[in-house]
Amino acid sequence: MLLLAVKNLIQEKTRLLISIGGVAFSVLLIMSIQGLYQGWSDNAAGYIRTVPADYWVAQRGAADMFHTPSVLPLSLQPELAGLDGVASAKPFSGRRGVFEHDGKDVNLYVIAYDSQNDVGAPARVVEGKAVPSQGEIIVDRVVARSEGIRIGDSLDLAGHPLRVAGFSEGGYVLATSFAFTAPADAQAILQLPGDTNFFLVALKPDASLGAVADRINAIPGVEAISKERFVQNNTSIITDTFLPIILVLLVIGIAVGMTVIGLTIFTSTIEKAREYGVLKAIGIRNSQLYGVVVEQALAAAVAGYAIGALLSAGVSAVAGGFVPEFITELRWTDYGWIFAVTLAMAVAAALLPAHRLARIDPAEVFRA
């Protein structure tokens, strides 16, 4: 039966291209949207997840890095470090700033990168210097490509010129991106003499998370925010507004894929109704007929999936070159569930015409 199904597929080259092309287009659409969803979901919190801290200690009432300012005195560090269960408490300084490049305002969140104490490091540096010297800055590659920024360019932040020394990844968050400078430069830009924005608190291995949080919260004017909660607070603007739109598009993409696959397989099957009628006349059972149609649909689905997956990789690479904000990421689990959905759509699309073919009267075929 499988050989018969394959023979039916390759007999008409145009119909074969239409069937496989319809599946490939559907897979391309679903993979592109899922890649966007996964890419933005991971990238939004990519940098904050890499920061080595069990708790972010902020000024009470400051829930995130972007919307509610947090300013704490550096004199608080010894008190935090001396709490029972605390292994270390390191100051973390960063603030949003705007610089002009080619007549456009670009938003950056400038972070003081203290390499000696391992505070404020980029998630990963992909080009140039890994550690900025004084007078230098590392910017995210997405914003660099989007704004035409090159290594060696000079950026002016708050009247403080900095030379671009490297590009990082994992620090682009919708309307802004993380940039990294030496502590002295950050101090000149952030204007926080004797203060910092947050403290990164790491706990001892045997410490109780809840107990340490209570001790920190007992200090007047400060609040301990767990790492996971801090991630959620800083990505809510994306997870609550942007990603649901992508999710709706993904559902629509799956619906469109089911329609396209259904129409192509339904049409290619019904057009061969006469041949299936002849098969019934020579004694093929309805169960075998169902098997031929389903196998034909599965063969088209597998071929279309392979082509669609390759096209998806190509489209992501090309689109990312023209639109740096087109951030996509597909995991092996994504490939797996999209493959399963493709097969399920193909089988579902094959059952309706197969049911119709099973009701064909062979006598009518010969009379025609």
3 state DSSP class of 62: coil
The residue range of the domain holding 169 is 48-235
pLDDT of residue 2: 46
Q: Do residues 290 and 358 share a domain? A: yes
C-alpha–C-alpha distance, residues 170 and 204, integer Å: 28
Last residue of a domain, one of 235, 256, 273: 235
With beta carbons less than 8 A apart as the criterion, state whether 94 and 197 touch.
Answer: yes
Q: Do residues 308 and 357 share a domain? A: yes
Q: Do residues 112 and 180 share a domain? A: yes
Task: Give Rg (Cα) of the chain.
Answer: 29
Q: What pTM value is reported for the model?
A: 0.74
Q: Do residues 223 and 289 share a domain? A: no
Q: Do residues 225 and 338 share a domain? A: no
The residues, ordered by sequence, that sit 6+ positions from 132 with a Cβ below 8 Å of its Cβ are: 113, 138, 165, 166, 180, 181, 182, 185
Last residue of a domain, one of 217, 235, 253: 235
With beta carbons less than 8 A apart as the criterion, state whether 131 and 115 touch.
Answer: yes
3 state DSSP class of 95: strand
pLDDT of residue 101: 72
Last residue of a domain, one of 235, 269, 299: 235
Q: Which of 38, 44, 43, 35 is nearest to 316 (CA)?
A: 35
Phi, psi of 309 (to 5 degrees): -65, -40
Q: Do residues 177 and 203 share a domain? A: yes
Total of domains in the chain? 2
The number of C-alpha atoms within 13 Å of 262 and in the hemisphere containing its C-beta is 13
The alpha carbon dihedral of 113, 116, 118, 124 has a sign of: positive
Q: Do residues 32 and 168 share a domain? A: no
Q: Do residues 39 and 63 share a domain? A: no
C-alpha–C-alpha distance, residues 215 and 223, integer Å: 10
Q: Over its length of 368 residues, how does the chain's per-residue pLDDT go in tens digits?
A: 445 545 555 555 666 677 778 788 888 888 888 888 887 777 767 788 888 899 999 999 888 888 778 899 999 999 999 999 999 999 999 888 778 777 777 888 899 999 888 899 998 898 999 999 999 999 988 888 888 889 998 888 877 888 999 999 888 777 778 899 998 888 888 888 889 999 999 999 888 888 999 999 999 999 999 988 988 888 777 777 777 888 888 888 778 777 777 777 677 666 666 666 666 666 667 677 677 777 777 888 888 899 989 988 888 878 776 766 677 788 888 899 989 988 888 887 777 766 666 666 555 555 55
Q: Do residues 359 and 301 share a domain? A: yes
The residues, ordered by sequence, that sit 6+ positions from 157 with a Cβ below 8 Å of its Cβ are: 97, 99, 108, 110, 137, 189
Q: Do residues 158 and 59 share a domain? A: yes
Q: Do residues 76 and 39 share a domain? A: no
Residue with tokens 């800083």: 234
pLDDT of residue 364: 56
C-alpha–C-alpha distance, residues 25 and 258, integer Å: 11
Q: Do residues 57 and 38 share a domain? A: no
pLDDT of residue 5: 47
